[in-house]
């Protein structure tokens, strides 16, 4: 690109002065002294213009200015923008703190260096049974998918190398310098698994105006029930039991299990012939089918037991 | 039909390119456009114009509306403790599905100086997907796909075929050199693995975009309404 000091030239419409003077030259033989005086001050001009026009290929040209915007660009390219022209080795060279000044939320994470990736592959190949994908991921603080990808790429690399493909190590080194990947530092850290939320249609539950949507307020106002999931209290209890078992506190675990809601037993409610399938439709009752067995056991009904019957309470 | 050049200094639209005029446009536009005095439609239109000039410029409006998905994976900020742990608005993922395209992957892995150049690489058959030649720039990669580029086709590499090529970076290109989190690149073999779709992260966006989330939100509104 032309620097701003040089003006662009283009062919002009005006004739060179020599052309204007030429007819004079032919006619001035008789009155040559008079014409010569007039000519002399003009000839240097003519010569000068002729000389410049011979310098540039075609006929005489007029200088034009670049547009204001283009001039501003050149000012920037030679001033503030000069630091972006040549690559700054070893460090990243963004426009500001982040690559996009208008979007500070985009903070690029520096990728892993090739040395770390080689190490991961070397660990895996040395002993795949101990260095599983999960162990590698936890060791290097990256996700399982990324470990998979690294192993895949490195295996491909080794295979290509054996087949005679020249590895582009100059490209790798150059890019690592430009991106600013540090050899020793661990730049990229991420969780093991990425959980993508699956957004479905919104669920609506009609509740009373003054009531809260918690299981404490009312048995029906339970989010777990609406979403067909295990109730939170039950989840907590089972987690506690697991923890106690893991610790080794068997007796406490058994106690906790006993406090869980078990099917009730009432020896007075035995019946020789019938078992009863019913639903407690009272306001604070569980609106789920229950079974009173012949031996007096009270339990919740299984799906197969009531599915066929149309219970419309 | 384009009446102005792609990197016009008067329009100052930011493109997916390493072009020095593009860098200049980006450097001199350090503030988002002032939409305070504009009507709602004008705001949506301007946001759509600016963001689409960057995200999927080579797609026509019709093509983009076919690709656009109004369902975005929303994340709750109920358990976030501060600004850093708060997820940005979900509309930052408006253009997430475009990042699956082959030409986008080639550009984001820094194998081509612009989306148009990346597109040309793909069309000319220089790009393979899982070992097979894939000449379709619109092809959407699946999670775990390996995309390889022929080293001789890369503009920054020069040399003879079958040898280790010399690397000379393009002037004014370094500010654009970064690798998004959803790609794993191996420059030794000029290959990339597409890990997963870009997702919502606390305190940052995964999709490289010159525009703040507010502009993406308005563009999203424009397209969601018109769909």
Question: In this structure, are residues B75 and B87 in contact, taking their beta carbons and an 8 Å threshold?
Answer: yes
Q: Which residues pair with A289 in a beta bridge?
A: A279
Q: Please judge whether A198 and B73 are an interchain contact, meaning their C-beta atoms are less than 8 angstroms apart.
A: yes
Q: State yes or no: pLDDT of B185 exceeds 90.
A: yes
Q: Please judge whether A102 and B31 are an interchain contact, meaning their C-beta atoms are less than 8 angstroms apart.
A: yes
* Tens-digit pLDDT profile for residues B13-30: 999 999 999 999 999 987
Query: What's the gap between Cα B155 and its chain centre?
Result: 19
- Closest A-chain CA to B27: A95
Q: How far is A186 from chain B (nearest CA, A)?
A: 14
The residue behind tokens 């280790």 is B164
> H/E element holding B192?
strand B191-194
Q: Which residues contact B72 (CB under 8 A, 6 or more apart)?
A: A199, B90, B91, B93, B94, B96, B220
Q: Please judge whether A107 and B32 are an interchain contact, meaning their C-beta atoms are less than 8 angstroms apart.
A: no
Q: State yes or no: pLDDT of A235 exceeds 80.
A: yes
**Interface check B151 vs A, CB under 8 A:** yes
Q: Please judge whether B26 and A100 are an interchain contact, meaning their C-beta atoms are less than 8 angstroms apart.
A: yes
Confidence of residue A30 (pLDDT cuts 50, 70, 90): low
Confidence of residue A239 (pLDDT cuts 50, 70, 90): confident
Say what percent of chain A tops pLDDT 90. Answer: 34
Question: In this structure, are residues A256 and A237 in contact, taking their beta carbons and an 8 Å threshold?
Answer: yes
**Interface check B190 vs A, CB under 8 A:** yes
Question: What confidence score (pLDDT) does residue A310 get?
Answer: 54
Confidence of residue A185 (pLDDT cuts 50, 70, 90): low
Confidence of residue B184 (pLDDT cuts 50, 70, 90): very high
Positive or negative torsion for Cα A266, A268, A271, A274 = negative
Question: What confidence score (pLDDT) does residue A251 get?
Answer: 76
Give the range with max mean pLDDT: A61-70, A186-195, B92-101.
Answer: B92-101
Whole-number Cα distances in Å, A75 to A78, B13, B24? 5, 20, 11
Q: Which two tokens stand for residue A136?
A: 């590698």
The partner residue sitting opposite B184, judged by closest CB among A73, A153, A172, is A153
Range from A59-73, A245-259, A278-292 carrying the lowest mean pLDDT:
A245-259
Question: What confidence score (pLDDT) does residue A230 get?
Answer: 82
Q: How far is A76 from chain B (nearest CA, A)?
A: 8
* List of chain A residues whose C-beta atoms are within 8 Å of the C-beta of residue B171: 85-86
The residue behind tokens 């493909």 is A165
Question: When comparing pLDDT for B137 and A6, which is higher?
Answer: B137
Question: What confidence score (pLDDT) does residue A264 get?
Answer: 66
Confidence of residue A36 (pLDDT cuts 50, 70, 90): very low
Q: Please judge whether A81 and B197 are an interchain contact, meaning their C-beta atoms are less than 8 angstroms apart.
A: no
Cα–Cα distance, A279 to A284 (Å, whole number): 12
The residue behind tokens 């299990």 is A257
Question: When comparing pLDDT for A164 and A14, which is higher?
Answer: A164
Cα–Cα distance, A277 to A295 (Å, whole number): 14
Question: What confidence score (pLDDT) does residue B95 get?
Answer: 97
Question: When comparing pLDDT for A125 and A309, which is higher?
Answer: A125
Burial-class residue A29 by CB neighbours within 10 Å (0-12, 13-18, 19+).
exposed
Question: When comparing pLDDT for A125 and A43, which is higher?
Answer: A125
Question: What confidence score (pLDDT) does residue A209 get?
Answer: 87
Give the Cβ contact number of residue A188 at 10 Å: 19
Cα–Cα distance, A178 to A188 (Å, whole number): 17
- Closest B-chain CA to A157: B189
Whole-number Cα distances in Å, A45 to A24, A36, A48, B136? 16, 14, 5, 64
Question: When comparing pLDDT for A51 and A68, which is higher?
Answer: A68
**Interface check B150 vs A, CB under 8 A:** no
Does the ipTM exceed 0.85? Answer: yes
Q: Please judge whether B164 and A197 are an interchain contact, meaning their C-beta atoms are less than 8 angstroms apart.
A: no
Question: In this structure, are residues B14 and A106 in contact, taking their beta carbons and an 8 Å threshold?
Answer: no
Which residue stretches of B83-163 are H helix?
102-108, 115-123
Question: What confidence score (pLDDT) does residue B215 get?
Answer: 96
Q: Which residues pair with A100 in a beta bridge?
A: none
DSSP state of A166: P
Q: Please judge whether A106 and B208 are an interchain contact, meaning their C-beta atoms are less than 8 angstroms apart.
A: yes
Question: In this structure, are residues B210 and A102 in contact, taking their beta carbons and an 8 Å threshold?
Answer: yes
Q: Which residues pair with B166 in a beta bridge?
A: B158
- Mean pLDDT, rounded, of chain A: 78
Q: State yes or no: pLDDT of B162 exceeds 80.
A: yes
Question: What confidence score (pLDDT) does residue A183 get?
Answer: 56
DSSP letters of A14-35? SPPHHHHHHHHHHHTTTTHHHH
Range from A106-110, B75-79, B177-181 carrying the lowest mean pLDDT:
B75-79
**Interface check B156 vs A, CB under 8 A:** yes
Q: How far is A97 from chain B (nearest CA, A)?
A: 11
Confidence of residue A59 (pLDDT cuts 50, 70, 90): low
Question: What confidence score (pLDDT) does residue A252 get?
Answer: 76
Q: Please judge whether B175 and A167 are an interchain contact, meaning their C-beta atoms are less than 8 angstroms apart.
A: no
A204, A206, A224: which is closest to A214 by C-alpha? A224
- pTM for the complete prediction? 0.72
Q: Which residues contact B158 (CB under 8 A, 6 or more apart)?
A: B165, B166, B168
Segment B92-102 mean pLDDT: 96
The partner residue sitting opposite B209, judged by closest CB among A106, A107, A188, is A106
Q: Please judge whether A167 and B209 are an interchain contact, meaning their C-beta atoms are less than 8 angstroms apart.
A: no
Confidence of residue A28 (pLDDT cuts 50, 70, 90): very low
Cα–Cα distance, B198 to A108 (Å, whole number): 13
Give the residue from A105, A113, A117, A198 with the most B CB atoms within 10 Å of its CB, the best one to mutate: A105
Confidence of residue A296 (pLDDT cuts 50, 70, 90): confident
Q: State yes or no: pLDDT of A4 exceeds 60.
A: no
Segment B174-183 mean pLDDT: 96
A149, A168, A107: which is closest to B185 by C-alpha? A149
**Interface check B96 vs A, CB under 8 A:** no
Q: State yes or no: pLDDT of A154 exceeds 50.
A: yes
Q: How far is B213 from chain A (nearest CA, A)?
A: 8
Q: State yes or no: pLDDT of A96 exceeds 50.
A: yes
* List of chain A residues whose C-beta atoms are within 8 Å of the C-beta of residue B209: 100, 103, 106
The three-state DSSP-derived secondary structure of A42-102 is: HHHHHHHHHHHHHHCCCCCEEEECCCHHHHHHHHHHHCHHHHHCCCCCCCCCCCCCCCCCC
Segment A297-304 mean pLDDT: 80
Side-chain half-sphere of A251: how many Cα atoms within 13 Å? 0
A93, A302, A96: which is closest to B172 by C-alpha? A93
Question: What confidence score (pLDDT) does residue A219 get?
Answer: 73
Q: State yes or no: pLDDT of A91 exceeds 70.
A: yes
Question: In this structure, are residues B217 and B210 in contact, taking their beta carbons and an 8 Å threshold?
Answer: no
Query: What's the gap between Cα B120 and its chain centre?
Result: 16
- Mean pLDDT, rounded, of chain B: 94
Segment A263-283 mean pLDDT: 79
**Interface check B146 vs A, CB under 8 A:** yes
Positive or negative torsion for Cα A157, A162, A166, A172 = positive
């Amino acid at each position: 690109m032309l620097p701003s000091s040089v003006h662009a030239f283009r062919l002009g419409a005006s004739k060179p002065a020599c052309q204007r003077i030429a007819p004079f030259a032919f006619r001035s033989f008789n009155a040559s002294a008079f014409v010569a005086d007039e000519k002399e001050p003009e000839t240097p001009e003519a010569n000068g213009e002729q000389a410049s026009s011979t310098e540039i290929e075609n006929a005489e040209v007029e200088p034009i200015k670049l547009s204001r915007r283009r001039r501003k660009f050149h000012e920037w390219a030679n001033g503030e923008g000069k630091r972006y022209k040549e690559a700054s080795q070893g460090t990243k060279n963004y426009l500001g703190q982040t690559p996009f000044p208008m979007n500070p939320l985009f903070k690029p994470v520096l990728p892993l260096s090739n040395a770390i990736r080689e190490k991961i592959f070397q660990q895996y190949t040395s002993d795949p049974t101990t260095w599983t994908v999960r162990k590698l991921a936890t060791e290097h603080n990256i996700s399982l998918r990324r470990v998979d990808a690294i192993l895949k790429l490195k295996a491909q690399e080794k295979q290509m190398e054996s087949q005679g493909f020249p590895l582009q190590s100059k490209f790798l080194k150059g890019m690592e310098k430009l991106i600013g990947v540090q050899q020793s530092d661990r730049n990229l850290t991420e969780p093991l698994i990425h959980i993508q939320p699956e957004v479905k249609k919104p669920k609506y539950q009609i509740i009373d105006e003054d009531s809260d949507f918690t299981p404490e307020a009312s048995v029906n106002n339970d989010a777990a029930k609406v979403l067909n999931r295990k109730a939170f209290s039950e989840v907590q209890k089972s987690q506690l039991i697991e923890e106690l078992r893991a610790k080794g506190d068997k007796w406490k675990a058994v106690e906790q299990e006993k406090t869980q809601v078990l099917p009730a037993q009432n020896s007075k409610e035995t019946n020789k012939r019938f078992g009863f399938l019913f639903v407690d439709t009272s306001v604070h009752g569980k609106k789920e089918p229950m079974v009173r067995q012949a031996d007096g056991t009270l339990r919740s009904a299984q799906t197969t037991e009531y599915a066929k019957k149309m219970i419309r309470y | 039909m384009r009446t102005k050049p792609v990197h016009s200094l008067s329009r100052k639209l930011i493109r997916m390119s390493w072009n020095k005029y593009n860098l200049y446009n980006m450097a001199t536009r350090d503030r988002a456009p002032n939409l305070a005095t504009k009507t709602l439609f004008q705001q949506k239109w301007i946001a759509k114009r600016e963001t689409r000039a960057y995200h999927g410029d080579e797609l026509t409006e019709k093509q983009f509306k076919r690709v656009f998905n109004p369902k975005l994976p929303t994340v709750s900020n109920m358990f976030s403790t501060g600004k850093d742990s708060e997820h940005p608005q979900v509309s930052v993922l408006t253009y997430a599905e475009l990042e699956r395209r082959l030409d986008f992957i080639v550009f984001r892995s820094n194998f081509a100086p612009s989306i148009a150049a990346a597109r040309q690489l793909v069309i000319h058959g220089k790009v393979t997907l899982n070992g097979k030649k894939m000449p379709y720039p619109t092809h959407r990669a699946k999670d775990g796909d390996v995309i390889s580029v022929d080293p001789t086709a890369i503009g920054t590499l020069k040399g003879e075929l079958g040898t280790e090529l010399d690397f000379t970076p393009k002037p004014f290109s370094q500010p654009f050199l970064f690798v998004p989190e959803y790609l794993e690149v191996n420059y030794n073999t000029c290959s990339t693995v597409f890990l997963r779709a870009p997702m919502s992260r606390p305190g940052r966006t995964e999709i490289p975009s010159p525009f703040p989330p507010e502009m993406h939100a308005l563009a999203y509104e424009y397209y969601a309404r018109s769909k």
